[in-house]
Amino acid sequence: MSIETFIDTRSSRPAEAFERPRRHVIPAVEAPLQNGVSPPDDGGTSFLTLNVRLHDGSLFKCEAAEGFRVMELIRAYGLPIKAECGGACVCATCHVRVPEAWRALLPAPSDEELARLDEVPGADDSSRLACQIEMTDALDGLELVLDRDSLVPQTIWVAG
């Protein structure tokens, strides 16, 4: 009998399920006039897209909203990210790699984040902590690779 470790993403939706990137616009609710003055038109709420790739090359397109942390979005989507400290920047188990084209759009990492990344074997200039990245309109379509060590392993017994 042997032990094999794999990542179970069956509950997640592969990107191939979508024919094109999804971008939803929720129309603003018609608000009644107050003292004869219309409320400002905020243009509705639109969702952003976050593209998460796993080490095996599979790509997942997650809906994202401005102001949410990337780690929370990945978790809400159903991908098994460890993120053991819940976003407190103490565990580094939400390690992601950001392609060069996107790095300049991200805010610089804090000293605290850099200190955590120094503890991650194999971390390099592409490394960031997903819990320290906040989605903004400028990051719509952000691509990143979820590090294999940041995935919750699921163990099954295989006869053999």
Binding site for ligand FES (CB under 6 A): 71, 83-85, 87-94, 116, 129, 131
The nearest distance, CB 147 to ligand FES, in angstroms, is 12
The nearest distance, CB 101 to ligand FES, in angstroms, is 23
Whether 8 and 154 have beta carbons less than 8 Å apart is answered as: yes
Whether 136 and 66 have beta carbons less than 8 Å apart is answered as: yes
The nearest distance, CB 98 to ligand FES, in angstroms, is 14
The nearest distance, CB 70 to ligand FES, in angstroms, is 10
Q: Which residue is nearest to ligand FES (CB)?
A: 131
Pick 88 or 158: Cβ nearer ligand FES: 88
Note the helical H segments in the chain: 70-77, 100-103, 111-118
Find all residues with CB under 8 Å of 108, minimum gap 6, and list them.
Answer: none
Spatial distance between the Cα atoms of 86 and 93, rounded to a whole number of angstroms: 10
Pick 54 or 147: Cβ nearer ligand FES: 147
Please give the C-alpha separations between residue 75 and each of 9, 32, 119, in angstroms, as whole numbers: 12, 37, 23
Pick 15 or 120: Cβ nearer ligand FES: 120
Pick 21 or 86: Cβ nearer ligand FES: 86
The nearest distance, CB 85 to ligand FES, in angstroms, is 3
Pick 98 or 129: Cβ nearer ligand FES: 129
Is residue 128 exposed (0-12), middle (13-18) or buried (19+ Cβ within 10 Å)?
buried
